[in-house]
Every structure is written in structure tokens, then in C-alpha cells.
Amino acid sequence: MAEATGWRNLQVVDDWAADVEVFRGVPWGKAMMWIFLLSDTFIFTCFLTAYMTVRMTTAEPWPNPSEVFALEAFGVPVPLLLIAIMTFILITSSGTMAMAVNMGYRRRRGPAALLMVITALLGASFVGMQAFEWTKLITDEGVRPWGNPMGAPQFGSTFFMITGFHGLHVSAGVVYLAVVAWRVWRGRYEKQGYDIVEITGLYWHFVDLVWVFIFAFFYLW
């Protein structure tokens, strides 16, 4: 009895039973999203570390990204043109997502939902461009996860693994944004507030930040 009373005095039992906030001032959803993003950070760090290790130790010549990912414009190959457009799109989507969070704080559900839809459309266009990039490498260049006619065979496996895993995150984020935007528009969060918009923004900003590292290590190195 004394032990149970002590637990109640600490309000631990009450907090867990209420299922509202265990960490004082931090909503459950936000805490869980931070934990998920932390675990995801470890995975992407392992992938990028493996890529750098493979690239520095391979005996075969590594393909020049500026040449491999060049896109022809007006008859002239432009290095990393498509990648630059994709990066610009993701950076822009971070801006629209930040504005959506701001509208959520102000409880303006219409603009918040609209900005989230715009963010989702930008994300979908990024995935579409990535699919085009994959198709070009596979059909035109003959790159495969197990081989690469332009040099080191590990190029294909690391490229498809890292960009594919990131593309999966972007695709999931697009669906996530669309669902939350629809619910915001319908007024589902009027009573409990719009913390969900900020939580969605945390995920989307993480996806954008990861792409910056992929862009720097894979395409610019």
C-alpha cells in the first residue's frame, strides 16, 4: 500500500492511465515521432557510412556523378540538372510545410490544409522525377543493383538502396500529408488542437534534411 501511494504521489500512474502526456509538456504524438526519427537517423547514417566505406575501398573506378546524372537540355548535357530540380522541389516543400505549421498554430484550418496539399504535390513530383531517374539509369545506362557497366559494381547497389529507401520515406510522407490535410480540412482537430500538423512537419523536414546529406555525399562527391 505504501509503495502504491508513493507512485500516486509522483503522478506516474495517473499520467500513464490518462494516456495524455507522460513527459510534461510534450504530447504523446510528438514524443513518439521524435523517437521514430531518431531510430531512422541511425539507419540512414549506417547506409551513408557503408556507401562511403565502399566507395573509398573499391578497386574499380567509381562513375563520375556529374556525367552519370547529366540531363540533356537544348542538345547540351547539363550535369546534375534533374538532381538540382529535385533538391529545389524538396527545399520548397519544406517552406510550404513550415507555413502549414504556422497556420495550424493560428487554427486556420483552410490555409493549413491547402499548404499541406501543396507540400504533398511537391513530394509526389519529387518521387516522379526519381522514378524517371531510375528508369534512365536502368534502361539507358544498364545500371543494376548487382552490376554497373560504367565501373564499380557497388555503384548500383548503393545507389538503389539509399535513394530507394529515401524515396519510400517521401512516398509515405505524401500519403501521410494527404490524410492529415483531409482531416484538418474536415475540422477533425478543432477540439484537441493542431499539434498533428507540427508532428507531420517534423517527419517531412527530416525527409528533406536526409536528402541534403544524400545529395552532398552521393551526387557532389
**CATH code of the domain containing 47:** 1.20.120.80
Does residue 21 have a pLDDT over 50? no
Provide the domain limits for residue 214. Answer: 2-219
Count structural domains, the chain: 1
Q: Any long-range contacts for 130-139 (C-beta under 8 Å, 24+ apart)?
A: 130/86, 130/163, 130/167, 130/170, 132/82, 133/69, 133/82, 133/83, 133/86, 133/163, 134/160, 134/163, 137/68
pLDDT (tens digit per residue) in 31-56: 899 999 999 999 999 999 999 999 99
Confidence band of 59 (pLDDT split at 50, 70, 90): confident
Nearby residues of 102 by Cβ (< 8 Å), 6 or more positions away:
none
pLDDT of residue 16: 46
Q: What was the pLDDT predicted at 6?
A: 53
What is the spatial distance between Cα 33 and Cα 23, in angstroms, rounded to a whole number? 14
Q: pLDDT of 95-125, one tens digit each?
A: 999 999 999 999 899 999 999 999 999 999 9
Q: Select the more confidently predicted residue: 167 or 78.
A: 167
Task: Return the pLDDT at 25.
Answer: 64
159-190: pLDDT as tens digits: 999 999 999 999 999 999 999 999 999 988 88
Query: Cα separation of 216 and 140, whole Å?
Result: 24
Residue 7 pLDDT > 50: no
Q: Please tell me which residue, 65 or 162, carries the higher pLDDT value.
A: 162
Q: Residue 97: what pLDDT?
A: 97
